[in-house]
Amino acid sequence: MSTTADAVTFSDLSRNPKSVAERAARLGRLRVTHRDAPDFYLTAADREEQRDESLTTASRIFLALMKHDPSARTLLLAMPDVFPWIRHLSTEEVRAFTVELVEALSDAAELDLDTNAQEVITGWRATARIKADRTEHEEAFRPTSGDFGPVEVTP
């Protein structure tokens, strides 16, 4: 979460690049807001490289834990503390979510595929939400009939 103290506008950056860069160096990371485009962060390359190394190390630890404990017991015990909504998932679903998440974190660390982990979390959270609402869950299992038309795929 950004505050005005650690954010500048894109116009500020284009008008005063040197002072904005100095501020980013001093703060470590500076959010650049843009009214017609997504915000971005201005940060030092070595700081990002350290973040990447930290993610890689964490993902390798999780993979090693799963390798040495195929039941992933330690990770499974920690998951409800991180994702309280998993209480609506079955034991098999929690295990599948855990495995998918660790694999997605590994992909983020090793292959620079940053969106996969959030997609895994979002998908499983949606499953938990449907299962938490008895009516919605029952509706998901009702048979359907007819053609619902073409499916639009958005990037």
The per-residue pLDDT for range 60-85, each reduced to its tens digit, is 888 888 888 777 788 888 899 999 99
Model pLDDT, residue 132: 93
C-alpha closest to that of 9 among 31, 24, 38: 31
| Residue 26 and residue 51 in one domain | no
Q: pTM for this structure? A: 0.68
Report residue 10 CA to chain centroid gap: 26
How many domains is the chain partitioned into structurally? 2
Q: How far apart are CA 48 and CA 28, in angstroms?
A: 10
| E strand or H helix at 38 | none
Is residue 103 exposed (0-12), middle (13-18) or buried (19+ Cβ within 10 Å)? middle
Model pLDDT, residue 4: 55
| Residue 16 and residue 86 in one domain | no
pLDDT digits over 18-69, tens only? 999 899 888 888 999 988 899 998 888 888 888 888 888 888 888 888 888 7
User: 154 lies in a domain?
Assistant: no
The pLDDT of residue 1 is above 70: no
- Domain span at residue 69 reads 47-139
